[in-house]
Amino acid sequence: MAEPKDSLQSIMDLDRLVHEPARLVILTALSEAESAEFLFLEKLTGLTRGNLSAQCQKLEAAGYLQIEKSFRARRPVTTLRLTPEGLQAIRDYRTKLMELLDRQA
């Protein structure tokens, strides 16, 4: 079993940008798809439009998410996709979290 101090430090080493629940659910959903439309993610995550938008902007600013705006039949469509950095960030997060949980078992 890991020392309590080591376990606590491991928690602190998790990527805080990814660890926030709303951003974690966005990154997890996008890691399973090539891309997704904003409205789909809104329904999937249960986040409000404003909260989803704010969290996506933070992920975009960090370089984890690419946001594309276009039109379909004269209606605006926002498409989101992970960047290679975003995909690596969610993979690293999962690996570190699993290692932490395995140490606790």
Show the domains of the chain with their CATH numbers: 4-104 (1.10.10.10)
Lowest model confidence (mean pLDDT) among 11-15, 16-20, 24-28: 11-15
Q: List, as own/partner pairs, every contact residues 51-57 make where C-beta atoms lie below 8 angstroms and the sequence separation is at least 24, other chains included.
A: 51/22, 52/22, 52/26, 55/20, 55/22, 55/23, 55/26, 56/26, 56/80
Mean pLDDT of 80-104: 93
Mean pLDDT lowest among 27-31, 51-55, 70-74, 95-99: 95-99
C-alpha atoms less than 13 angstroms from C-alpha of 78 in its C-beta half-sphere = 13
Q: What amino acid occupies position 63?
A: G
pTM equals: 0.87
Look at 101 and 55; give whichever has higher pLDDT: 55
Supply the pLDDT for residue 3: 61
Average pLDDT, whole number, for the chain? 91
Mean pLDDT within 51-72? 97
Q: Is the pLDDT of residue 4 over 80?
A: no
CA distance linking residue 67 with residue 59, whole number of Å? 10
